[in-house]
Structure 1
Amino acid sequence: MLKKLLVDVHTHVYLPRYAELLRSRSAVPRIIPAPAASTDSKPSERLLILDHEPSGGRPVGPQYWSRDEKLGFMDKHGIDVSIVSSANPWLDFLPAPDASDIAIKLNDDLEEYCSSSPIISDQRIKRLYGFGMLPLVPGITTSALLDSVRQISLLPHLKGLIMGTRGVGKGLDDEALDPVWEAIEKEKLVVFLHPHYGVDNDAWGEKENGHVLPLALGFPFETTVATTRLILAGVLDKFPDLRLLLAHSGGALTQLSSRLASCIHHDPLVASRLKHDARYYIGRLYYDAVSYGSEELQFVADTIGRSQRMMFGTDHPFFPPLNGEIKWRSVVENLEAIQGVSGWSQEQKDGVEGGNALKLFNLVQ
C-alpha cells in the first residue's frame, strides 16, 4: 500500500536568473545589499517588492533560490512533494520584449530545478514540480502569450502556471485574455492565482502598523476582487473546464459569496451575463489551505460544498521561524488547522494534506 503524501501547493522560489535581474534594478522590485550598519551575524540582502516596505524589505538568502534549501525545508517538515512557483512580482515591471524573453528562460530554469529533484521511489514521482510563468505585461502580443502557454504545456515537470491579477494591464477580466484562457483550458493546466499589489495604501490610514494590514488584508482582498471580476465577466461560463487555484484560501470570496449572489440577482446588467448563481462558480474553484485556522478552513469547505478542492500550502520561504523556533509556523499552524476541522473525516483531512493535489496535478495513476 502506498503511503500518504504531504503535498505543498503554495511554495515559492526566486530562481537565480530572476534574483540577478532584481539585483540589477534601481527601483522596486529589487534586491539590495545588506544594510551597511547591520549587526546580524550573517547579514542578508533585502528584497523590496513594493514601495515603502517596512523594515527596509525582507531578508533574503539561499532559502529563496537553492533547491537544496527547499528540499531541506521539506525534509524537516515531512513534506513529500512541492509544486513550486516563482514569487511575486513576476514580470509586469518589464517591457514586453524583455518579459517574453525572460519568461521562456525562467520556465526552462524551473523545469531543470524540478527535473533534477529526487524521485519518491515507491510512488514513481518527483519531489518537485512547478508552475510556469507567462509574460503578462502591457503591450505583449497574444501570440507571445500563447507561445508561453505552449512551452509550459510541453515541459513535463510544469503542471500549470502562476498568474497575478493585472493581466496585460486591465485585469483578468480583459477580453484580450480570452485566447489565453482558451489555450490554458485546452492544455489542462492549473492556474495558481496569486496577489501582489494589495489594495490602495490610503485604506490603511496614517498610523504605522508595519506589514500587517497589507499582508493580512490587502493581499487576500486583491484575490477576492480579481476572482469576482472573472466571475462577473462570464469567463467561467466561456471556459467551464478552466482550473483556477486561489492563494490564501480565496481571501474573503467565500465569506462574501451569498452577499455577492444577492447583489448580482438585483443587478440586471450583470445578472443577464451569467448562466448560474455566483455560488456555483465559487464551488468550481480550487483553494489552498493557507488560512492558519480550522474555523476558516471549515467555512470555506462548507461554502464550496467540498473539501476535495482544498490543498495544503506553506508560503515558504516567507515568514521564517523567529525567537529560536525550530519549525516554521506556516507549516505547523496550517497542518494543525487541517487536522482540527471537526467536520472532516480523516480521509478528507488526508485529501487536503496531499491526495487532492495529487489528483489535480495528475501525479497519481
Structure 2
Amino acid sequence: MSPSTRATVADVQLLSGPTVDVHTHVYLPSYIDYLRSRKEVPRIFRAESGEDRLVILPGEDKDSSTAKGRPIGKEYYDVDTKLEFMDVHKIDASVISLANPWLDFMDPSTASPLAAQINSDLQSICAKDYGDDGAKKVLYGLGCLPTTSVEGSVKALEHLAEMDRMRGVLMGTYGKGKGLDDPEFEPVFAKAEELGLPIFIHPHYGIPSEMYGDMPNGHVMSLALGFPFETTISITRIILAGVLDRYPKLKLILAHSGGVAPYLVGRLDSCVKHDRHISQRLKKPPSEVSPIYLKSLYYDAVSYNPAPLRSLCDLVGSDRVMFGTDNPFFPPLEGISGRWESVDTNYGAIAGLENVDWMKGVKGTNAARILDLHV
C-alpha cells in the first residue's frame, strides 16, 4: 500500500492472514444466575418493563442517568449471536472471556466453585465446531480466577492449563483485595509464568467516583477515564513492586491499549529516576522503565483512534498489539444487528497504521502467535 493511499476498514479486512478478536466478552448462564440472585450491585434484575437489566459499575445504582442499568439481551450470553457478530465483521477467531465484574467481590467459598464452573462451561463452548470449512469460526477462551483466594487461584490456573481451548485468564486489578502488587498474591503470578498462561488485566472499578463531580454524566467518566486510569495505576504498581523483575517470562496483556501508561512514559521514567528508593528497588536502570518494562507487556488495540494506536506500536512494537472489539459493549444505538460502529472504529484505527505488516500483525497474526491459536 503506497504512502499516498489511505487504508480503509475494508482494506484491513481484506489483508491476508486471520482476523482474531482477543477482547470479547460473554456472561455465561451460571454467572447470570448468580447475578440474578443478588440484591446489591453488581446484579441483574427484572425491570417493570419485563426486560432484564444489568447494573455492574460502582455507583451505577445511584447515578440517575444509569440507575436502571443496561438491558441485557442475547448478545450478552448467546453463542449463536456471538458467531453472527463474528460473521458480520469478518472475524475468524474470538478469544472469549467473562465480562466484568469478575469474582473479586466474592467470598472465596463462593468464588472458587463458581470459577471452576465458569471455566468448565467456557471450555465446553470453545471446544465445539462452528460453521463449515468455508465459513468456519474458531473460539478460544480466557478463564477466570477466584482471586480472593490465592490457593484457589493457583488451583484454577492448574486446571485451566489442562483445558485445550483455554489460553490464559482475564482478571481485574484488585487481586485478593489489595491490588496486584500485593506480595500475598505473587504465587498467582509465579504459577501463571510456570504454566505459560497469559493474564489479561481488565479494569472494572475505575477511580474514586467523587473525582467525577456532581454532574450526572452516565457512563462517560467511568468508562472513558476511570477504566484506563485504573489499568495504568495497576500496571505501574506491578512494575514498581518488581513483579516483572521476579517473573520475567510472565505474559501480561493490558486492556484498552494499556490505558494511559504508554503516553506517560517520559514522566514515569523521570519520576522513577529521581526517586532513589524506587530506582534502587528495580533491577533495571531507572531510565529503562519504559523501554524494558512496558515493552515486555502485550496490549489490545481497543483505542478507537489511529493516533494513539500508532503511538503504542511505535513505543512497544506492533508485534505486541492485538485487535479487539469489546463486544457486547458499545453496540449500535438502534440495536445489535448489522455492523457495529465501535468495531469499525477499531478497524479504522488499524487502517491508520498505514504499514501493511503492522496492520496484518495487529489484525490477527500477533494474537495467533502470542496465544498459540490454530486459525
Give the alignment's TM-score, normalised by structure 2.
0.90
Q: CA deviation digits over 1:249-271, x for unaligned, max 9?
A: 00100110110011000001111
SS in structure 1 of the partner of residue 103 of structure 2: coil
Asked if the contact 2:83/2:137 (under 8 Å) is kept, the reply is no
- Residues 71-82 of structure 1: pairs in structure 2 closer than 5 A: 71-82=83-94
Unaligned 5+ segments in structure 2 are 1-14
The code of the aligned residue for 1:228 comes to T
Q: CA deviation digits over 1:29-67, x for unaligned, max 9?
A: 100113x2x4xxxx6311001343233111111111111
Structure 2 distance, partners of 1:47, 1:358, is 33
Structure 1 distance, partners of 2:16, 2:353, is 22
The match for 1:131 is: 142
Identify if the C-alpha distance between structure 1 residues 117 and 220 changes in structure 2 by more than 3 Å, giving closer, same or farther. Answer: farther
Q: CA deviation digits over 1:315-337, x for unaligned, max 9?
A: 00011111478311121000011
Q: Aligned pair 1:351/2:361, yes or no?
A: yes
Q: Aligned pair 1:216/2:224, yes or no?
A: yes
The match for 2:45 is: 32
Identify if the C-alpha distance between structure 1 residues 144 and 323 changes in structure 2 by more than 3 Å, giving closer, same or farther. Answer: closer
The code of the aligned residue for 1:75 comes to D
Identify if the C-alpha distance between structure 1 residues 297 and 332 changes in structure 2 by more than 3 Å, giving closer, same or farther. Answer: same
The code of the aligned residue for 2:126 comes to C
The code of the aligned residue for 2:293 comes to Y
Structure 2 distance, partners of 1:259, 1:297, is 19
Structure 1 distance, partners of 2:37, 2:117, is 17
The code of the aligned residue for 1:135 comes to P
Aligned with residue 284 of structure 1, among 287, 296, 320: 296
The match for 1:300 is: 312
Aligned residues: 351
Structure with larger RCO (C-alpha < 8 A, sep 6+): 2
Give the drift of 1:143.
2.8
Identify if the C-alpha distance between structure 1 residues 119 and 184 changes in structure 2 by more than 3 Å, giving closer, same or farther. Answer: farther
Asked if the contact 1:120/1:127 (under 8 Å) is kept, the reply is no
Give the drift of 1:95.
1.1
The match for 1:106 is: 118
Give the drift of 1:144.
1.9
The match for 2:19 is: 6
Structure 1 distance, partners of 2:334, 2:25, is 23
Give the drift of 1:278.
1.1
Q: Aligned pair 1:158/2:166, yes or no?
A: yes
Aligned with residue 226 of structure 1, among 221, 234, 253: 234
Structure 1 distance, partners of 2:188, 2:254, is 18
Structure 2 distance, partners of 1:79, 1:285, is 24
Give the drift of 1:354.
0.3
Asked if the contact 1:115/1:126 (under 8 Å) is kept, the reply is no
Structure 2 distance, partners of 1:93, 1:146, is 18
The match for 2:99 is: 87
Aligned with residue 20 of structure 1, among 24, 33, 37: 33
Give the drift of 1:180.
1.3
The match for 2:109 is: 97
Asked if the contact 2:88/2:338 (under 8 Å) is kept, the reply is no
Aligned with residue 238 of structure 1, among 230, 240, 246: 246
Asked if the contact 2:92/2:137 (under 8 Å) is kept, the reply is no
Amino-acid identity (%): 47
Aligned with residue 349 of structure 2, among 330, 337, 340: 337
The code of the aligned residue for 2:328 comes to P
Structure 2 distance, partners of 1:223, 1:44, is 32
Unaligned 5+ segments in structure 1 are none
The match for 2:330 is: 319
Q: CA deviation digits over 1:121-165, x for unaligned, max 9?
A: 489x9610000011011xx2x332211110111111000000100
Structure 1 distance, partners of 2:310, 2:152, is 41
Identify if the C-alpha distance between structure 1 residues 267 and 328 changes in structure 2 by more than 3 Å, giving closer, same or farther. Answer: same
Identify if the C-alpha distance between structure 1 residues 44 and 236 changes in structure 2 by more than 3 Å, giving closer, same or farther. Answer: same
The code of the aligned residue for 2:359 comes to K
Asked if the contact 2:23/2:326 (under 8 Å) is kept, the reply is yes
Give the drift of 1:198.
0.2
Segment drifting more, 230-239 vs 329-338: 329-338
The match for 1:256 is: 264
Give the drift of 1:3.
5.2
Q: Aligned pair 1:206/2:218, yes or no?
A: no
